Chain A
Amino acid sequence: MTAVATACPPAVRQGGGPVPVVSEGPALLAGIAQGPGLAAHLNRLGPAPRPSLGALVDMARDVDLRGRGGAGFPFATKLSAAARRRAVVVVNASEGEPGSHKDAALISCAPHVVLDGAAAVARALRTQEVHIVVSSEHPSLRRVVEKALRERVTAGECLDLRLHDAAPRFVAGQAQAVLQLLAGRENLPVTAWQPEAVSGHRGRPTLLSNAETFAQIGHLVRVGSAGYAAHGTAGEPGTTLVTLRGDGWAPEVREVAHGTPLADLLDEAETSRPLLLGGYHGTWLRPAQLRGMTVSRSAIAAAGATLGAGVMLPLAQGRCPLVRTAELVEYLAGQSARRCGPCLNGLPAMAEAVRALVHGEGSVRRVEELCGLVVRRGACAHPDGTARLVASMMQRFPAEVQAHSVGTCRRGREVSG
């Protein structure tokens, strides 16, 4: 199952940790061992159909395709909203989350699946203008995309394809920050008064989606709704990309069908420790909640979490989830774009409050108060995501929080059950 695609060395982050292993997958990552070139891609799959807007909306609705950047917004709704004059298509592969590598893996191993999707969406919206945003942390990724674009132009693609480099910052991939980058301004979030599908790039209707979302479209237009449903469950057709241990040891990118047991992705030792699901803005789950859990939006929602962009971070052996959370909040506070008062002040205060709590010098009330003070009070959802992480720590580990707050936590004791 874990056939390593040797023909596809995934893009490596500058100064980054271990290179993630990318495995061949059932749909988007099928055939990656043959390399990322256009010839191999076309040989295997033939040219991608380019359906009309109505047909594409119907297909996306049939399979309930959701955005894969984290928010999970229904793609058909977004596509319909953007279907007006002078639309723009933006493929967001900037992936600022340190625990996520799936977009980098996808775009370095299967760039033409992503670009097929972008071309289909552009055609449906009757536009030629397609922007692709990659992280400047991945110089090798940029080269892969440049090569893929050249191949398509040579093959007669008549799209106006433009490549942009996002800043290596956690919030650089946020939709409004990406629109700022496209407009030649600093790559930071600004206040959105309207959804970007209504008023996005230079005020034009803009279909901005995550790279995996476009790849899902690239696959969907080829196989149709019925073919798409060959994988996944009746309620959640298709596959999804996940990054395992993305910020730690042995990082891995996998494409799995919805409904796949978590136990197929993580080993027993990993599922018997707490798991941070959805990345640094995500939610902690206790080992007992992981038992029988599958990769499915509904199962994960039932456990009070979301899959987000598919980031799964099992806690390293012997580590305390509270200490880990304190480290993450400190990192996140440092990633604030430092422009919105409540985020600029609130996140460092929260980092300090969580650190104090973990060291038996703080109070639960102060942490809760700060969570309340930052939520929905910034140009982007960075404070909300940080508060979500902290709230999940308080909720999932109440006994440990209590023990830490009164200074009786025995260092090294692990959370089980």
Chain B
Amino acid sequence: MSEHQLRVDWPACKGHGLCAELLPEVISLDEWGYPIVHEPVKGEVLAMARRAVKACPTLALRLTLPA
């Protein structure tokens, strides 16, 4: 099973924090409300990560495969 990276488009991210609510397994928020991605996404978390990507109001999240 391949590991995806959850990457943040920082200029686009407005710190809404929705992603941390939808994906607390992988994302927490820093003291200013911006996401901290803790680990690569794999297994059953992947589907939830896809939901978080879709839900981000500014489309600032992307799942990428390591090159």
Contacts and interface: CB of A to CB of B under 8 A. Distances in A.
Interface of A: 188-191, 193, 337, 339-343, 345-346, 373, 377-379
Contacts, number: 44
Q: Is the interface of A mostly helix, strand, loop or mixed?
A: loop
A345 B8 CA distance: 16
Contacts of B62: 193
A373 B11 contact: no
Contacts of B11: 188-191, 337, 339-340, 379
Q: In the complex, which of the residues B9, B34, B36, B62 has the most CB atoms of chain A within 10 Å of its own CB atom?
A: B34
Contacts of A189: 11
Nearest to A338: B11
30 contacts: A188-B11, A189-B11, A190-B11, A191-B9, A191-B12, A193-B7, A193-B64, A337-B11, A339-B11, A340-B10, A340-B11, A340-B13, A341-B10, A341-B13, A341-B14, A341-B32, A341-B33, A342-B10, A342-B30, A342-B32, A345-B31, A345-B32, A346-B32, A373-B31, A377-B8, A377-B34, A377-B36, A378-B10, A379-B10, A379-B11
Contact of A191 (B10, B31, B36): B10
A343 B32 contact: no
B64 A341 contact: no
Interface string B12-27: 1111000000000000
Nearest to A370: B31
Nearest to A341: B34
Given A191-B9, A193-B7, A342-B30, 17 more contacts: A189-B11, A191-B10, A193-B62, A339-B10, A340-B10, A341-B13, A341-B14, A342-B32, A342-B34, A343-B10, A345-B31, A345-B32, A373-B36, A377-B8, A379-B9, A379-B10, A379-B11
B9 A341 contact: no
